[in-house]
């Protein structure tokens, strides 16, 4: 009995550890993809996996060597399909891990910055002045700032309105904001391919959603046609913001406390 325990108990522990690690990996993958627009594709892929496993199991029992051989190699195809189907979600996750800044929490914007920003957006909305402003949080926006014109200017109402006033050469593009400073203007942002976005939305709104899909940035858009204020973050677009609602959401997302004023 003692020899039996010595022989099988260590192996049992290894098996349990092996299963736990595999289960954890699959749980993290499903948690990553569950709340994305690829959730339906994930369900289809899981169905394909279960069907493939069932066919392989039956072929193994029936002794169908050719089918068994095919499905042994079929797992490689499934892995490749998985990577290609969810490449956007993996890219976003890897970007978040690779660009994280551990000490960014100690450098939050001030209430004065929020006042200037909301005032500028409100005035541009009244004048129907098209604008897009990307506020950097944890993920670095340097790769997008490098596509524009470097400024390094303090965020003020006058500066932002000047940038987006036609015929300013900097109005056609996005402003990148880090902390309380404008890093660059006339920047190019990635466009979203989300099919659920309203057809009437233009390039500015799709660029705002696109950047929020790939990073944790908060992006403000002012429509040139309607003057409607929109806010994009975490791949979602919240339209028809008022100056008050915009201020409240920004204060929460940027962790700006009212008592700082």
- CATH fold of 106-260, please? YojJ-like (1 (3.40.1700)
101-137, pLDDT tens digit by residue? 544 444 456 788 899 999 999 999 999 999 999 999 9
228-258, pLDDT tens digit by residue? 999 999 999 999 999 999 999 999 998 887 6
Please compute the mean of the pLDDT values over residues 41-63 and round it to a whole number: 76
Residue pair 151/185 in contact (Cβ under 8 Å)? The answer is yes
Reply yes or no on whether the pLDDT at 44 is more than 80.
Answer: no
Residues 134 and 92: their CA atoms lie apart, in Å, by 17
Where do you find CATH 3.40.1700.10 in the chain?
106-260
Q: Where are the beta strands (DSSP E) in 108-204?
A: 131-135, 149-154, 174-178, 181-187
């Amino acid at each position: 009995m003692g020899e039996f325990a010595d022989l099988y108990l260590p192996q049992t522990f290894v098996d349990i550890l092996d299963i736990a690690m595999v289960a954890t990996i699959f749980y993290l993958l499903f948690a990553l993809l569950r709340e994305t627009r690829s959730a339906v594709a994930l369900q289809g892929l899981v169905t394909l996996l279960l069907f493939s496993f069932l066919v392989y199991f039956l072929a193994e029992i029936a002794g169908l060597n050719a089918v068994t051989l095919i499905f042994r190699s079929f797992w490689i195809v499934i892995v490749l399909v998985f990577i290609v189907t969810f490449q956007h979600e993996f890219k976003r996750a890897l970007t978040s891990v690779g660009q994280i800044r551990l000490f960014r929490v100690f450098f939050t914007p001030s209430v004065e910055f929020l006042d200037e920003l909301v005032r500028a957006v409100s005035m541009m909305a009244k004048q129907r002045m098209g604008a897009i402003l990307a506020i950097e949080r944890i993920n670095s926006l340097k790769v997008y700032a490098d596509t524009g014109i470097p400024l390094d200017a303090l965020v003020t109402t006058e500066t932002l309105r000047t940038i987006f006033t036609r015929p300013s050469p900097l109005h056609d593009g996005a402003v990148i904001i880090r902390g309380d400073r404008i890093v660059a203007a006339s920047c190019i942002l990635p466009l979203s391919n989300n099919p659920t976005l309203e057809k009437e939305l233009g390039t500015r709104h799709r660029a705002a959603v696109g950047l929020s899909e790939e990073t944790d940035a908060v992006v403000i858009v002012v429509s040139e046609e309607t003057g409607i204020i929109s806010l994009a973050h975490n791949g979602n677009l919240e339209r028809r913001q008022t100056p008050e609602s915009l201020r409240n959401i920004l204060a929460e997302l940027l962790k700006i406390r009212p008592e700082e004023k």
